[in-house]
Amino acid sequence: MYTTSKLKRFASLIAVIALMFFSSFAMAFEGDAKNGRKLYKQNCASCHKLDKKLIGPALSGVTEKYSEDWLLKWIRNNAELRASGDEDAIAIFEEYNGSVMSAFPALSDQDIFDILQYTIDGDPKPIPTPGNLSEVAVAPSKDYSKQILIGLGLLLFLMISLLARMKNTLRLVNGQDPVSIIDEAGWFWGRLINNKVFVTLATIIVTVAFLNQLYWFLMSIGVEQNYQPEQPIAFSHALHAGENQVDCNYCHSSARHSKHSGIPSANVCMNCHMYVDGTEIIDDAGNLKYEGERSPEIAKIYAAIGWDAEERQYIEGYEQQPIKWVRIHNLPDLAYFNHSQHVNAGQLECQECHGPVETMEEMYQYSELTMGWCINCHRETEVQFEKNGYYQDFHEELTEKYHGEKITAEKIGGLECGKCHY
Amino acid sequence: MTENNKYWRGIEERSNPELTGKLAENEFSNEVSSADFLGNDEVVESKTSRRDFLKFMGFSTAAATLAACEAPIVESIPYVVKPDSLTPGLPSYYATSMFDGMDYASILVKTREGRPIKVEPNTDANFNGNTNARTQASVLSLYDGARLRNPKVSGEDASWGDALAAAKAMLTDKSVLLTSSVISPALKTAIAKLGLRHVSFDAVSSSARLNVYEGFTGKRGLPTIDLENAETVFAVGADFLGDWGGQNLMAAYANRRKPGKGMLRHLQAEAGLSISGSNSDVRIKARVSEYEAILAHIYNRVIAELDRSKLSAPVRTPALRQDIASSVEAVATELISAGSGALVLNGLNTENAERLALAINLALGSKAFNASKFVYTANGNDQAAAELFADAAAGSVDTIVTLGVNPAYQTPLVDLTGVNIVAIADRQDETTSKAKVTLPVSHYLESWSDFRAVDGHYAVGQPTISPLFDSKSAVEILNSLAGGSETAKTLIQESAALHAGSISWNALLHDGYVSTTAAEVSMNGSMDARMIDLSVIEVMKPQSGFEFYTYTKTGMGVGENANNPWTYELPDPISRLSWDNYIVMSAADAVELGIEVAAESNGAMTGNTLNITVDGRILKNVPVWIQPGQTKGTFGLAIGFGRTAVGKVGNNVGVNAFELLPSFNVLSTQVSAAASEVEHGFASVQLAHTMMGRKIVNEISLPTFMNISHEKWNEKPTFETYKGPLSAFEANLWDDHDHETSHMWNMSIDLNSCTGCGACVVACSLENNVPVVGKEEVRRHRDMHWLRIDRYYSSEMTAELADENGIGAIEKYAKMEIPSESPDVVFQPVMCQHCNHAPCETVCPVGATVHSREGLNHMAYNRCIGTRYCANNCPYKVRRFNWFNYKGNEKFTDVNPSQDDYGRMVLNPDVTVRARGVIEKCSLCIQRIQLGKLEAKKDGRMLTDGEFTTACAQACGSNAIVFGDVNNPESEVSLLKQEGRAYHLLEEVGTQPSVFYQTKVRNRA
């Protein structure tokens, strides 16, 4: 999460002013480093880093070397600039062995200024905080219900004692012997357990309650709703699917074609993580999460596939280690489930069964995955007849048969045993 | 009875009166102290009382139960780098070819997650693009745990480098390479490079027949048969639908046997009842020693009728037995009138027999006999092998390199003790265990290879999985022995560049084969009926005593899959026995020898055994099966059994026929036999041999079919009701299911096309994870096959005959039970009929078997509680009960492939492996139906007919099984349902099955 404190803004302002004084080129632009960071991640990060060479040069301090005009031209279309015979441009091109940088004609001047601002400011630095202020500041909220209950209990006890005392006083007044509260309770209990109606009722209530509990306990066996095992890599769906809006099908590509949704192989991770290695991840407090180091979680992918992050190449002859994920959604073997049937033919959203995955830091089983749950959905979900040539004849036949009722999966045989059990 | 009687407890008490008192005192005289009983001081001294013990027991049981509720952690391990061509959950298909020394097939291999799990026919291929039971079963042999894991030198594990070096050091110019038939050009190149003397022989030899063609053309191959051009085929001892000739004629035969004008007429002369003989219109029960004489008689008739000036002189031939003489004359007449439409096939491996058959075909100008295109799947040379063995015995051979042969088993009489053996083999078999060096060869599904099985066809075999063990392709091993270092793939690529023509490598791999324009086999002038001088040959003299021959069984074949449980479990189509080989003999011989085979009270078959002496060699206690249709005086025994070192499945199953008749011999007439005291239990899956006058298999003759309306010969049962006579579909107690909307799956089985070959049964087992149960369970009729092929013999007694002669019901039915000595044979595949008014559904107390709106009878295994009411109520007896946990019970460790990690890899991941105590049955391959519909839905298009089909229908080489949607009026199955031949099995029961049959038509008056 990217947050900027006022202090930080002030610091960057000072830095900008300082840079304006000391840099060899007087920078006349004003950029928003926050927007610049976003644009940088989208457009530049796959080839550039701030502090070291990647495919292209390190960008920190680039504004000191080149003029604002020149940078605008270079970034927008470097090929054109080279074609115009600009010596600096050709020099860079040759320095990097003729690797061509993409043109970014879509970036506005302000966008480029924002990016340049970011190259000056860099990532937000950790802010020193004196002591653990936050912990002191936030008092833990308390739950008083226990104390209230104890108080009420004491009150009740006091009142019963008072009542007993009053009764005994009355008895003394009437010339009778006082009766202790325990004897009284014993007498009451004796009446109670000799009352057949009470005993019968109590037995029935207790038995029914017990059987009810037993039933629900037995029914819960094998239902692993909310199962959230620890995974070998602390992968966050909230970050990938939520914040970064990566489509589910990008990683789980076989969900459209196959019965399995498929866990992405490490080479799919590498499509992004060849460039995104976690050095720039910022935590909620606005600090660099790994203090500029590579994320240890992402490093696990590198260890699996054999990627040398320093040399930026795959290690030859590396003995690859598959990542052993813990399977969360386990259907029994006797039930056949096909993802493509639901995702492709049924056009269901992944979230219908898997819940709000895009908000899950750690993946868990959202649905019951019981047969009752399946059946219920088949009873309620309408068949996606539209634009599917397969149904072109059946749709009419079924509409006629069911007199225009909505046609659910049930009505095309979605509840038949053999459709899932074979 | 008086009151004073005294009863003694024994003689001892009577003789010693004092004992009475002692006994009364001490009734249980030998008291054992608990300490002695427990025999463990710790237990005796422990303070734990019985009550405590029970408490602990109770607690731990409860704790264990609760702990078991915790689901186990399942790991999901994706690829590190996923191959592009592979999506988990979706199958990939690879085109390749299979050759095992006898069968050659162009196939598609279905793989899931990199594991081959099913073999399908490659119907596009121009040669043998269909599968039989052995081809289907071969995929399981890949996962055989008995395969060699690594090379060995002197019995010790060794590296490939060391083993090859050790083998090379043994090779001198006195060394010999001994192989089965080689049809791989790349392998031939490697063999030439190796430069050793090369000898090949086949377990089922065609050597003498090959000699004939080699003499004429210089090529060791057999002519191909264009059955499409034949009108009348006469096969003498040739089971051309089973194992004969290397060419799969199933599809062509079924095509030509479509009832109607010009239907192929099939005549057969043979000793034992084969698949071809069972399907024939006329079958002559001949002795093997009569085959040559039969051919000679026909030859003489043919040349007598035709223009003598163009033909050679008649053959001197012994007279034929009276019983068959007139039948042979009739066959000759038919062949002559068929002229160029006639075809004679010879199955006897002698030069004379083949010359005669060739001469007849040439004289008649047979259009079906294609002597310009040869098939090479059998090209061994028995003389060369015999010479080699003679040289080995004489000491002039130092090392024999074996590949694809097992001389210690196939030629047990040959003594190879003085010779070093380098075995290129897949297992530690009878020969390999004697080898100095063992080089493990990969299964064909792991190998690179190429094939020229027939002229005009070049195929490449590609691996469908990495070798499971440390083995290599045969071509690579031989090339390495010759000093080469190329990989198998390179060698095949080089070979393909020479032989495949202009097709690209990728296209060749994709198709699996390429049509080549091979130079046609050119006959030198002598291959002409005039030039074959048959007047000099000496025709084999028919014998009158016992004679002995060997044959191949449908499941076992030549024995390549001898450790493959599916080949054993598949019942023999004719005898309906599994897990055995046995001497087949006629009922008359059995009476003579005092042999009986009878069912025990539990339905298991038990019979006498035989001590048999052939050419002075004795085998004792050989099981005997009384086979209707067997020629009197002939004993047949199947090869491939009686292995001692093939693996846990095949070891010591049956007897080794090669011990009586080594593979080079075709027949022995020096036979004596006597019944033995020892009894033998058979695993028989069918006790009823006849249909007892019922129309279970509807059979008519061709003239009836052509001239009489089908209402007459395919009468539908009707019921008298208050509404008048109603058909079984109309007279009905229940409400009908709605079968108009969406699909309605039906299956048509053409009894005219079904040859009984059993490919469907094995294919079904593969597709549906049908467990193997072993001999003891099959013997109890607890076989698990979802699909069975019932075989019925005709009986001499018929209902008509009984009516005519006034025979009473009891005598009639008693006689009807006895199959004819020369029976007609019919086959009928029976699987779940998917009744639309299913008797099983109404009796299930838990609703585990229910009907679908697509016409299927569903079976939910997890609901089934195993009452077996459904199986009892099923009129077709197609429901199978899991008596055991076959995949875990140690009783089945030796037979069930699911009990080891390798065997489990063949399981179809889309089909549940059933647990103990539930009923299972044919689902009409619902996994394929569901997948087929899903593919159409995903593509957003209508289903097309034939897009997918069931495993049995796909495996059927003769297209007897057709599956499809009858709600699609243009589908093949809809049209078949309208056919006059169509009928439902036991239609009168009113079950309204979704499976229907087509009446069998025999081409005779």
C-alpha B819/C-alpha B8 separation (Å) is 60
| Residues 263-302 (A) with a CB less than 8 A from some CB of B | 263-268
* pLDDT value at B969 more than 80: yes
What pLDDT, on the 0 to 100 scale, is given for residue B953?
Answer: 96
Nearest chain A alpha carbon to B83? A265
* pLDDT value at A26 more than 50: no
More confident residue, B21 or B422: B422
What pLDDT, on the 0 to 100 scale, is given for residue A393?
Answer: 83
CATH architecture designation of domain B553-684: Beta Barrel (2.40)
- pLDDT tens figures, A376-402: 999 999 998 888 899 888 888 888 888
Yes or no: say if B753 and B959 are a contact pair by the CB < 8 Å rule.
Answer: yes
Among partner residues B69, B862, B937, which is closest to A334 by beta-carbon distance? B862
Q: What is the dihedral of CA B911, B912, B916, B918, to 10 degrees?
A: -80
Neighbours of A258 (CB within 10 A): 17
Under an 8 A CB cutoff, do A327 and B76 touch?
Answer: yes
Among partner residues A262, A412, A419, which is closest to B930 by beta-carbon distance? A419
Give the start-to-end residue ranges of the domains of chain B.
1-74, 91-142, 152-204+380-445+466-489, 222-375, 553-684, 699-1002
* pLDDT value at B285 more than 80: yes
Place of tokens 């004073």: B4
- pLDDT tens figures, B163-184: 999 999 999 999 999 999 999 9
Under an 8 A CB cutoff, do A390 and B863 touch?
Answer: no
Structural domains of chain A sorted by starting position, each given as residue range(s) with its CATH number in brackets = 6-121 (1.10.760.10), 150-220 (no CATH)
Among partner residues A260, A304, A344, which is closest to B938 by beta-carbon distance? A344
- Continuous H helices in B112-266: 133-142, 160-170, 185-194, 207-217, 250-256
Under an 8 A CB cutoff, do B75 and A325 touch?
Answer: yes
What is the SS3 assignment for A315?
coil
What's the mean pLDDT in B366-378? 90
pLDDT > 90 fraction of chain B, expressed in percent and rounded: 77
Confidence of residue B774 (pLDDT cuts 50, 70, 90): very high
Among partner residues A254, A393, A421, which is closest to B862 by beta-carbon distance? A421
- Write the CB contacts of B140 (distance below 8 Å, at least 6 apart in sequence): B561, B564, B565, B566, B766, B897, B903, B906
What's the mean pLDDT in B527-555? 82
Confidence of residue A20 (pLDDT cuts 50, 70, 90): very low
Under an 8 A CB cutoff, do B933 and A327 touch?
Answer: no
pLDDT > 70 fraction of chain B, expressed in percent and rounded: 93
Among partner residues B78, B81, B937, which is closest to A388 by beta-carbon distance? B937
Yes or no: say if B215 and B419 are a contact pair by the CB < 8 Å rule.
Answer: no
Residues of chain B with Cβ-Cβ distance to A419 below 8 Å are 852, 930
Residues of chain B with Cβ-Cβ distance to A260 below 8 Å are 88-89
Q: Which of A49-53, B772-776, B987-991 has the lowest mean pLDDT?
A: A49-53
What's the mean pLDDT in A269-286? 83
Smallest Cα distance from B364 to chain A, Å: 56
What's the mean pLDDT in B108-127? 94
Confidence of residue A32 (pLDDT cuts 50, 70, 90): confident
- pLDDT tens figures, A185-213: 888 888 888 999 999 999 999 999 999 99
Q: Which of A81-90, B95-104, B307-316, B820-829 has the lowest mean pLDDT?
A: B307-316
Q: Which of B12-21, B140-149, B424-433 has the lowest mean pLDDT?
A: B12-21
- pLDDT tens figures, A330-341: 998 899 999 999
Q: What is the pTM of this model?
A: 0.83
What pLDDT, on the 0 to 100 scale, is given for residue B43?
Answer: 56
Q: How far is CA B989 from CA B407, B856, B961, B998, in A?
A: 56, 18, 23, 18
- Reading the block at residue B200, the tokens are 């090949």
Confidence of residue B94 (pLDDT cuts 50, 70, 90): very high
Under an 8 A CB cutoff, do B80 and A258 touch?
Answer: no
C-alpha B312/C-alpha A2 separation (Å) is 104
- pLDDT tens figures, B884-927: 999 999 999 999 999 989 999 999 999 999 999 999 999 999 99
Residues of chain B with Cβ-Cβ distance to A392 below 8 Å are 942
**Pairing status of strand B265-270 against strand B232-236:** parallel
Yes or no: say if B778 and B578 are a contact pair by the CB < 8 Å rule.
Answer: yes
DSSP A98: T
Confidence of residue B129 (pLDDT cuts 50, 70, 90): very high
- Reading the block at residue B420, the tokens are 């070093």
The residue type found at B861 is Y
- For B222-375, the fitting CATH number among 3.40.228.10, 3.40.50.1110, 3.30.1300.10, 3.40.190.10 is 3.40.228.10
Under an 8 A CB cutoff, do B81 and A267 touch?
Answer: yes
Under an 8 A CB cutoff, do B80 and A265 touch?
Answer: yes
> What average pLDDT is seen over chain B?
90
The residue type found at B15 is S
Yes or no: say if B716 and B988 are a contact pair by the CB < 8 Å rule.
Answer: no
Under an 8 A CB cutoff, do B74 and A326 touch?
Answer: yes
What's the mean pLDDT in B211-223? 89
What's the mean pLDDT in B812-841? 94
What is the SS3 assignment for B606?
strand
Residues of chain A with Cβ-Cβ distance to B742 below 8 Å are 394, 397-398, 412-413
What's the mean pLDDT in B296-312? 79
C-alpha B449/C-alpha A37 separation (Å) is 59
What is the SS3 assignment for B91?
strand
- Write the CB contacts of B996 (distance below 8 Å, at least 6 apart in sequence): B746, B747, B748, B749, B976, B977, B982, B983, B984, B985
Nearest chain B alpha carbon to A256? B938
Q: How many CA atoms lie within 13 A of B639 on its CB side?
A: 28
Which pairs from A270-275 meet CB under 8 Å and 24+ separation? A270/A301, A270/A305, A270/A307, A273/A298, A273/A301, A273/A302, A274/A307, A274/A312, A275/A45, A275/A46, A275/A54
C-alpha B872/C-alpha B843 separation (Å) is 9
pLDDT > 90 fraction of chain A, expressed in percent and rounded: 39
C-alpha B895/C-alpha B891 separation (Å) is 9
Place of tokens 């000191």: A64
| Residues 336-375 (A) with a CB less than 8 A from some CB of B | 336, 338, 340-341, 344-345
What pLDDT, on the 0 to 100 scale, is given for residue B72?
Answer: 76
- Write the CB contacts of B270 (distance below 8 Å, at least 6 apart in sequence): B235, B236, B237, B239, B276, B277, B283, B284, B285, B286, B347, B631
Q: What is the dihedral of CA B582, B583, B584, B588, to 10 degrees?
A: -130
Among partner residues B741, B858, B941, which is closest to A417 by beta-carbon distance? B858
pLDDT > 70 fraction of chain A, expressed in percent and rounded: 88
What's the mean pLDDT in A238-257? 92
Residues of chain A with Cβ-Cβ distance to B858 below 8 Å are 416-418, 421-422
* pLDDT value at A300 more than 90: yes
Under an 8 A CB cutoff, do B912 and A334 touch?
Answer: yes
- Reading the block at residue A62, the tokens are 């680039």
Nearest chain B alpha carbon to A267? B81
- Reading the block at residue B523, the tokens are 């006959």
What pLDDT, on the 0 to 100 scale, is given for residue B454?
Answer: 93
Nearest chain A alpha carbon to B933? A390
Under an 8 A CB cutoff, do B81 and A266 touch?
Answer: yes
CATH architecture designation of domain B699-1002: 2-Layer Sandwich (3.30)
What's the mean pLDDT in B490-519? 91
What pLDDT, on the 0 to 100 scale, is given for residue B742?
Answer: 85
Confidence of residue B37 (pLDDT cuts 50, 70, 90): low
- For B152-204+380-445+466-489, the fitting CATH number among 3.30.565.10, 3.40.50.740, 3.40.50.300, 3.40.50.80 is 3.40.50.740
Q: Which of A62-71, A138-147, B648-657, B796-805 has the lowest mean pLDDT?
A: A138-147
Confidence of residue A4 (pLDDT cuts 50, 70, 90): very low
What is the CA angle B430-B433-B439, rounded to 5? 110
Residues of chain A with Cβ-Cβ distance to B950 below 8 Å are none
- Which helix (H) or strand (E) segment holds residue A113: the answer is helix A109-121
ipTM: 0.84
- Using H for helix, E for strand and C for coil, what is the string for B734-798? CCCCCCCCCCCEEEEEECCCCCCCCHHHHHHHHHCCCCCCCHHHHHCCCCCCCCEEEEEECECCC
Among partner residues A258, A330, A334, which is closest to B71 by beta-carbon distance? A330
Yes or no: say if B436 and B402 are a contact pair by the CB < 8 Å rule.
Answer: no
Chain B contact for A418, CB < 8 A?
yes
Please give the full DSSP string across B109-127, using - where no structure is assigned: EEEETTEEEEEEE-TTSSS
Q: Which of A359-363, A365-369, B61-65 has the lowest mean pLDDT?
A: B61-65
- Reading the block at residue B434, the tokens are 């004697």
**For testing contact with chain A, the best of B86, B87, B740 (most A CBs within 10 A):** B87
